[in-house]
Structure 1
Amino acid sequence: MSNEPTTAAEARARVTELARAARICMLTTIALDGRQVSRPMGLQEAEFDGDLWFFAYDDSAKVRQIRVNPEVNVAFSDQKHNSWVSISGTANEGFDRSRAEQLWSPVLKVWFPDGLDTSGLTMIKVHASSAEYWDSPSSTVVNLLGFARAAVTGQPPNPGENHEVTY
């Protein structure tokens, strides 16, 4: 955990920046048999205000799982910028045409060929309750040198910032 003081607002803003930069995440739900199940998803909402939005099919396993147990985790990994974000929250499913029009992107036609008129199209909204992020501003080479120095000196490396955030 970083010793640097960070306000809650600054930490929330950093979560937003890191999630926006990564865009692709792993959405983890709880299967009917209790197993955790993760799958890649593309984040649709660029302005993170505590809610994340995804498009899905209403008969998909993830939607069925959310209907039974809405507790989810959304994890982002941005290897290019050496940052990671884990967001825990509650998900719900439903189609809001107005919101869908705001969030629709032409690249989504690959998965939803009839656009917003695709049969069974729905949206998943994840409302964040907490988040944690790890942010290392150094390059991979600098981080590897830090790990090597730690192995020689016995002192733990400085991996960058790590903060917990509540919403």
Structure 2
Amino acid sequence: MSTDSTDPVRTVADLLREHRLGVLTTVAPDGTLVARPMALQEVEFDGDLWFFAERGSRKVAHVGAHPGVNVAVGSGATWVSLAGTAEVVDDVAKKRDLWSAGVEAWLPEGPDSPQSVLLRVHAESAEYWDAPGGRVATLLSFVKAKVTGDRLDGTNERVDL
């Protein structure tokens, strides 16, 4: 995937565009890291990621006690890891705006339910790995690297957002 290296937010947004699921990692009260898959809400990335959650869930409790989180997304050729802070957002208008049939499968009472809340993750930094050409090209690059002793083709960058 080609990225615009002059604007780190745009680069990360481009890399995130095709991903619908992320792994949200929070810190439990005993200090252990807890990771779980979450559906990314379809919003143009501007430094924030949005997730629906149930008010009484452990992830919401974790965020309330320790807002530092990580979200990782990826596929065979592109991986993004975002570090930032999360907050619980209980805004009915925003919930209605982001609501979808997919969310309804998890929160059947709808966006007006007091049990549904949003988690807003404000990304402070991102690290990404992007191999040109997709999975097949990545495999060929791996074979080439093994034969020639050269490094894999691709980009690995850390950016402050």
Q: What TM-score comes out, normalization by structure 2 length? A: 0.91
Provide runs of 4+ in structure 1 moved above 4 Å: none
Q: Which amino acid aligns with 1:67?
A: G
Q: Which residue of 2 aligns with 1:28?
A: 25
Alignment of 1:68-79 (within 5 A): 68-79=65-76
- Structure 2 distance, partners of 1:73, 1:104, is 23
1:111 aligns with 2:106: yes
Q: Which residue of 2 aligns with 1:6?
A: 5
Contact 2:92 2:112 in 1 (8 A): no
Q: Deviations over 1:68-118 (max 9, x none)?
A: 110000001133xx1111110000112101111111112211011121133
Q: Which residue of 1 aligns with 2:160?
A: 166
Q: In proportion to residue count, which structure has more helix?
A: 1
> What is the count of residue pairs matched by the alignment?
159
Contact 1:21 1:78 in 2 (8 A): no
Secondary structure of 2:86 counterpart: strand
- Structure 1 distance, partners of 2:111, 2:5, is 41
Q: What TM-score comes out, normalization by structure 1 length? A: 0.88
**1:6 shift after superposition:** 2.4
Cα distance change of structure 1 residues 5 and 65 upon mapping to structure 2, 3 Å threshold? closer
Alignment of 1:58-77 (within 5 A): 58-77=55-74
Alignment of 1:115-154 (within 5 A): 115-154=110-149
Contact 1:45 1:52 in 2 (8 A): no
Q: Which amino acid aligns with 2:5?
A: T
Cα distance change of structure 1 residues 115 and 58 upon mapping to structure 2, 3 Å threshold? same
Q: Which amino acid aligns with 2:9?
A: R
Q: Which amino acid aligns with 1:124?
A: L
Q: Which amino acid aligns with 2:145?
A: A
Secondary structure of 2:17 counterpart: helix
Secondary structure of 1:102 counterpart: helix
Structure 2, unmatched stretches of 5+, are none
**1:153 shift after superposition:** 2.2
Cα distance change of structure 1 residues 55 and 5 upon mapping to structure 2, 3 Å threshold? closer
Structure 1, unmatched stretches of 5+, are none
- Structure 2 distance, partners of 1:166, 1:53, is 19
Q: Which amino acid aligns with 1:162?
A: N
